[in-house]
Amino acid sequence: MPQLTGSHTSKLSADAPASEASRDTPGQLPDDIYNVTLPRWRAAIRAHLVKAVARESVARIRSPWLNSYFLYTSALGTHTFFMIALPILFFFGFPEVGRGLVVVLASGVYFSSFIKDLVCSPRPFAPPVNRLTIGTHHLEYGFPSTHSTNSVSMALFVFGQVHSAHSDFSAISSTTYWISCGILTLYAVSIVFGRIYTGMHSFTDCGVGVALGATLWAVYAITGGTFERWLESGSWIVPFVLMPLCLLLVHYHPQPVDDCPCFEDAIAFVSVVLGVCLARWHCVYSGLDGFFDTVMPGGQGDIWTWDENLQWWSLAGAKICFGILIIFIWRLLAKSFLHAVLPPVFRALAPHFDLPHRRFYTPATDYGRLPLENGLRPIPSVIDLPGAFEVSGVNGSEQSRQAIKRRGLNVNAGHEKMHGGTGTSSSLENGKSLDMDKMGVVAMEVVNHYDADVLTKVVVYAGIGFISCEGMPLFFSLIGWGIKAW
C-alpha cells in the first residue's frame, strides 16, 4: 500500500498558478493554454474554480482504517458498480425501478461530464494533497464530483421507492424503513465525504455535485411518470425523438483542452438510456408485455423448503452469469463488426459531406485500419475490473510537474508519433496553435483515438441497454427461468 499521508503541510496560495502545481491530471496545464483555447466566459469560470481548488488543496490527516474505508466505499459510486448492478434489476422483474435508476444516473454522468469538459477545472493539487484512488478517476477533471452526483441521486431515488413501499403500500415495516433510511444516508455521506478525504475533490466539487444529483432526482421525480407513459404509448414518435436526441447529446458535448475521458463516460450512459428506452417502447409496440409477468420457479408464499430455496438461488445465479456473459459477447461481436465497417463508410462519405470531427480523434481519412487493441475492450472501460480495483496513491513530483501523460494531444501529434516524430503542438478550436515545448510542457505519451470509436460506443452501449431490458428477460421467460423474483 502506498504512503497515503500528505507529504506537505503548507497551504497552497490561492494565487499560485497552475504551473506550480502538479500536472499529472487534466486541468493543470499552463494557464495560457486554457485562456487561449477556451471562450472568455469559460476561462473566467475556470479561473474562479482554480482559485477555490488552490485554497482547498491542503494536506490532510489520515488513518489506515479511514483510508481503507473511504477508498473502497468509493467503488460503490463508480460506473463499474452501476453498470454491473443495473442489469440485475431487469433480470429479476423490476424494470420500472431499473429504468428510473438508469435515467437518473445517466443524467448525472452526462451533465457532470458536460460541466467538467466545459470548465476544465483541475482536481486538488498534489502536492500538497496526496490523492488516494481506485482506478483511473484522477485522469478526469475535478468539477463537479460525479461520485457525489451519482451517490446522492441514487440514494434519493431509492429513498423514494422505500418511502412509497412503507407509506403507500405498507409493504415494509417501520423498522425496515428506518434501517433503510440509515443505510442510504451512510452510503451518500460516505461517498461524498470520502471524495474530500481521499483528496480526489474539493469541497466546491462535492457541493455542486450534491446539488446536481438532488436536482436531477427532483426533475425525474416530477416528470418520471409522464416519461414512462410516453414510452408506453407505442408511437413511432418515441424512437424518432430518442435516436436523434442521443446523437445530438453526443455531438454537442463540450470539447475540452486536455484529452479527458469524461466524453467517453457520457457516450456510454446516454447510449444505455437510449437502448433501455427503446426496449420499453418496443415491448409495448410489439405486444411482448405478457412475457414479462412470468415468475421464477421456486417456493410460493412465506415458507420455502430447502429444495425450493436451492432451485431459486441456482436459477438466480445462472441468470446473472449468463446475462452478463451475453452482454460481453455482444460487445465483442459488435465492436469487431463496427470497427471493420465504419472506417470505410466514413472515408466514402468524407469527400461529399462535412463529417463531425472531435479534437483528439483521428478521422478515418487519416488511418487505414484500427489497431486491434484500440477502442472498446472486451470488458468496457466502465467495467474494466483490473483497472477499477487498482489502488494507487497519486502524489505530485518534480517530473510530474514538468511532464504529462497525455491520452492524446491532437491528430497531428498522434501521426507524428506513429511516424517516429515527437510533435507537441496542439491545434485549438479557434484555429490557433500552441507550442507545448515553449510552454514547458513535455508530452510523455500520446494515446490515439479514432472517429469510428464514437459511433461504435453509441451502438454497443445502446445494445447493452436493449439486451438488459428486453433481450435477456424475454429469453429467461421463454426458456422457463422466469423473470419476476416472486
Catalytic residues: 147, 201
- Give the integer Cα–Cα distance in Å for 117 and 108: 14
Counting every residue, how long is the chain?
486
Phi and psi torsions of 441, nearest 5°: -110, 125
Residue whose C-alpha cell is 497525455: 406
Q: Please name the residues in contact with 190: beta carbons below 8 A apart, sequence gap of 6 or more.
A: 69, 70, 73, 76
* CA distances for 303 relative to 24, 93, 136, 176, 194, angstroms: 58, 21, 47, 20, 41
CA Rg value for the chain: 24
Distance CA 283, CA 279 (A): 6
Q: In this structure, are residues 93 and 292 in contact, taking their beta carbons and an 8 Å threshold?
A: yes
Rounded to whole angstroms, the Cα distance separating 4 from 131 reads 8
- At 393, is the secondary structure helix, strand, or coil? strand
Helix (H) or strand (E) holding 223: helix 203-231
Task: For residue 104, give the nearest of 164, 166, 151 by alpha carbon.
Answer: 151
Residues 6+ apart with CB under 8 A from 1: 391, 393
Buried b (16+ CB within 10 A) or exposed e, 344-364: eebbeeeeeeeeeeebbbbbb
Exposure of 412 in the CB half-sphere (CA atoms within 13 A) = 9
Q: Assess contact for 55 and 205: CB atoms under 8 A.
A: no
* Partners of 133 in beta bridges: 392
DSSP secondary-structure letter at 171?
-
Distance between CA atoms of residues 387 and 348, nearest Å: 37
